[in-house]
Every structure is written in C-alpha cells, then in structure tokens.
Amino acid sequence: MYKRLMESYDPANDKNGVSGERIAFRLHALSQIGLGDRYSCNRVSFSKEEQQAKELVMHWMKEAGLDVRQDGVNNVIGRLKGATSETTIMSGSHLDSVPKGGQFDGPLGVISALEVAQAWKDEGFVPAKSYEVIVFTDEEGARFQSGLSGSQAMVGEWNLEKKKRLRDQEGKTFEDVLQENGLSFQTLADAKRDFSEVETFVEVHIEQGKRLEKAGLPVGVVEGIAGPSWLEVIFAGEAGHAGNTPMNDRSDALVAASQFISAVESLPPDYSHSAVATVGQLSVSPNGVNVIPGEVRLTVDIRDIHKKHRNDLRDRIRNVAKKIAERRAIDVSVDEIMSEDPVPVTEALQQKAAQAVKAVTGNPALHLPSGAGHDAMIIGRKTDIAMLFTRSQDGISHNPAEWSSLNDCVVTVHALKTLVEDLIKG
C-alpha cells in the first residue's frame, strides 16, 4: 500500500508541516492490522485487531505531543491543551471496519486529524484553543448490526435495552464482549462527557460516492448528514395456481409490489437534490415457480439531509403504496421501523470549510450531502459539526478496491488544517 500511495505522489504537497510520506506510512501500517485477502481490512469492533490499531495510533499521538487516554467504551482521546482556552475543537473518525472492507473508510479521518497535531508540533505551533483527536469505537456496527457505539456513549445517548439484546454471529451478547474488553454497561455510562466546552467537531471521510470524481475535485464540503427513515411495507394478496387462475381474477401481491418499487425510484427528485429512496429487501411468499405470490414484504430506506423533505417523501411513499393496493384490490400495511433525524452543517461552518478548500485548491468548493451515517451525526446532537469528503476512486467503498490517491488525501489534510486553524483562533 505504501508503494502504491507514493508512486504518483507530488512532493510539492509537502508543506506547512504536513508530510505525505508520513501519512502514507501510517495508512500502510494500519492496513497491516487485520489484513485479509485482496488487501481487505478486517477489524470488527471490540476485536483485538481494533484495539491493536488503536494502540498504534495512541503511540503516534504521544509522538505528536498529545495527552492520551481511553474512556469507558475504549474511545481514544488525544488532547493538546490550548495556550489560552479550554474551549475544544475535536476531529477524528474510527478504525473498525466491515468484514473484507477497504483501507480508507475511517483510518483516513483518524490520520488526517493526527497529522494536523503532528504538523503543529513540527512547526512549534501551540493553538489558542484545545484540540482533540478522537478514535471512536464500533462505528461500522458490523459485529452486532448496530454501530456508532463509541459516539453514542460519548454523548450519553444509547439504548440500554437494545444493547442488551444484541448478539454477534458467535452468539456472544454485547455485554459479554464488553466484559472481554474490560468494559461494562457502567463504563459505557461513565464515558459520557460534558460538551459545554466543545465548540466544533470536524470529521474527514472518504466520499464513498462519485460526485467529487465526476467534478474532478480532490475534496468537498459536506452540507449535511442524511437521516434515514425505514419503512416495512407488506402487500397481501391471495396465492393461487399459476395455471388455473385467469389473469383478470388474480390478487397478485408481487405485481403490486413491482409497481410500487418502480414508483419509489421516481419520487425523490420531487423533494430535494439530496433525497434518496431504496427498496433494499424483498421477501416473496409462497415463492413458488407455479404459484401466484400471495404476500410480499419489502423495506424502503428513505434519506435526506432535510428533515421536512425526508418526512414529506416518506408520507408520499406511504400514500403511493396505499393507492396501488386500493387500485389492485389487495391489502397493504406500511410501518416506520426506524427513524433518525438528519444532522445539518450550519451555513457558517460550510462557508468556513469552503474557504479552507478554496485556499488550498484554488477552486470553489463543491458542497455535497452525506447519504451515509458517521460519528459526526451523533456528535452533532451536542455540538456543531463540519465534514470534509475526500475523492473516492470509482466511488467504491466497503470493498478491498476502496482507494483515494495520496495527493487527494494530503490536499484534504491541508484543508482540514486550514479549517481547524481558523476555528482554533483565540
């Protein structure tokens, strides 16, 4: 990985204390922990691999002059005390991965935040405000199909009863895994922190999409993190013999579902440029070759960075399902099974981030939504957030082929450093 990162790197990007070679070395070193086939990353949450990666980052944090600790959910916090103020700017991401994931999702945000502190040390600069580099635990949620545990614990907003019900593929409960790591539900509760002195959290992340690539830009400004609403839709018709039931005497649940799915695809642009809707799961019953489908269960994932637009789109999708069912004389039920509020980035912080990007690249910044959830979404419940996206090659993520060039990564670090230095002034 180091060789590939360095082979096309432009050394002119090494300036203001930022070192592309150091970033490449650190990304490569992390990639060796939990390394799988096809250069995949395998560091599920609360594993020895995740903690080993954290230990390595804690070593680098100390080299950068940070005071380092782990809290009650094993979040890593590296703190540089401000020269004149305890007011804090935070930056960071996560080191856990999905199984057979990529090497940039999470680690780039951690290394970027750390590189800012390392560059300051090398330059002999001490910020007026305090600065913290954060490594969150269990962002991906791949082990328990329920992530963001580290950021939830830090803000003190997590569901104890839900956590008690979680089990991994080996049958271990969430509590069992906590105990294996020297933790408990009480230590999770103790990880809650006071955010009164935290002014802003800034997260760098790969885009995981193609907007920046299509625009030919290395870095972009996130305008908000979409909040998902999940609907479970059940079309109930009547199963029947595929040969002996005339076409004009059928209650085919799958035909109704297919019309609904087609309609869902067309609706988001009516509400917002950032709205999306996806039918992701489909279950057909009885699911026989020669049987008219009597029931179809499906899910719709609806997201937008604007809560009103998201909710309006959700309500319209619900009405479309009911109208199709009525027209075809079958039953339908629509239940919202999950809802998270979107987290906007304030106009002021978007402007500051855009100014930082323009100062580094010379080009106006592209503003784009984040359709995926991030720790910044949770931290945004307690303080202002900003995000910078780094261009993803071919938009690929959660895949060993995930890649961002070192040039793009370093340009993003410069944009982060410029933004943080703006925020951290006395």
Quote the pLDDT of residue 75: 98
- What's the confidence (pLDDT) of residue 100? 94
- Strand residues in 194-244 grouped as ranges (E): 198-206, 219-225, 227-236, 240-241
Q: What is the mean pLDDT of the chain?
A: 96
Same domain, 161 and 180: yes
Q: What pLDDT sits at residue 145?
A: 82
Q: Clarify whether residues 166 and 288 are in a common domain.
A: no
The b/e string for 42-61 (b: 16+ C-beta within 10 A; e otherwise) is: bbbbbbebbbbbbebbbebb
The answer to whether 123 and 346 have CB atoms below 8 angstroms apart is no
Which of 304, 324, 339 corresponds to the end of one domain? 339
Q: What is the pLDDT of residues 143-176, one digit of tens each?
A: 988 889 999 999 999 989 989 999 998 999 999 9
Token look-up 């700017």 returns 89
Residue 140 counted as an annotated binding residue: yes
Question: Is 422 within any annotated ligand binding site?
Answer: no
- Per the document, the length of the chain is 426
In angstroms, rounded to a whole number, what is the distance separating the alpha carbons of residues 329 and 252? 10
Percent of the chain at pLDDT exceeding 90 = 94
| pLDDT number for residue 426 | 58
pLDDT of residue 141: 87
Inter-axis angle of helices 107-123 and 48-63, nearest 10: 20
Give the DSSP H/E element, type plus range, for residue 353: helix 347-361
pLDDT digits (tens, 9 = 90+) for 201-248: 999 999 999 999 999 999 999 999 998 999 999 999 999 999 999 999
CA angle 141, 150, 47 (to 5 degrees): 60
Select from 140, 146, 154, 160 the least CA-distant residue to 49.
Answer: 140
Percent of the chain having pLDDT more than 70? 100
pLDDT of residue 147: 85
Q: Are residues 269 and 382 in the same domain?
A: no
Largest CA-CA distance found in the chain, in angstroms, rounded: 84
Distances (CA, A) of 265 to 227, 268, 317: 18, 7, 10
| Average pLDDT of span 107-132 | 97
Judged against a pLDDT cut of 90, whether residue 178 lies above it is answered with yes
- Average pLDDT on 243-254 reads 95
For 372, other C-beta atoms within 10 Å of its C-beta total 17
pLDDT for the residue 146: 83
Report the amino acid identity of residue 235.
Answer: F
Crossing angle for the helix pair 20-31 and 107-123, to the nearest 10 degrees: 140
Residues 176 and 315 in one domain: no
- 105 marked among binding-site residues: yes
Task: Specify the pLDDT at position 174.
Answer: 95
Tokens of 288: 């026989």
Same domain, 148 and 191: yes
Query: What CATH number does residue 35 fall under?
Result: 3.40.630.10
What is the distance between the alpha carbons of residues 287 and 392, in angstroms, rounded to a whole number?
Answer: 39
Among the candidates 308, 339, 370, a domain finishes at: 339
Range of the structural domain that residue 370 is part of: 2-225+342-423
CA separation for the pair 69, 57 (Å, rounded): 11
State the average pLDDT over residues 2-29: 97
Q: Are residues 279 and 363 in the same domain?
A: no
Task: Say whether both 15 and 158 belong to one domain.
Answer: yes
For 220, the token pair is 């972009």
Annotated binding residue 94? yes
Q: How confident is the model at residue 28 (pLDDT cuts 50, 70, 90)?
A: very high
Total domain count, the chain? 2
Q: Are residues 149 and 35 in the same domain?
A: yes
Are residues 8 and 99 both part of a single domain? Answer: yes
Question: Do residue 213 and residue 354 come from a single domain?
Answer: yes
Residues 192 and 58 in one domain: yes
For 375, residues 6+ apart whose C-beta sits below 8 A from its C-beta are: 92, 93, 94, 134, 136, 139, 148, 150, 151, 203
pLDDT tens-digit series, residues 359-375: 999 999 999 999 888 99
CATH number where 303 lies: 3.30.70.360
The response to whether 414 counts as a known ligand-binding position is no
Are 207 and 328 members of one domain? no
Give pLDDT, residue 372.
86
Among the three residues 283, 317, 339, which one is the final residue of a domain in this structure? 339
Of 210, 321, 186, nearest in space to 259 by CA: 321
227, 367, 217, 359: CA torsion to nearest 10: -130
Run of H or E residues at 3: helix 2-7
- Which three-class secondary structure state does DSSP give residue 1? coil
pLDDT at position 337 is: 87
Task: Please say whether the beta carbons of 103 and 1 come within 8 A.
Answer: yes
- Residue-wise pLDDT for 377-401, tens only, equals 999 999 999 999 999 999 999 999 9
Q: Say whether pLDDT at 54 is over 80.
A: yes
Element (H, E) at 112: helix 107-123
According to the model, what pLDDT value does residue 108 have?
98
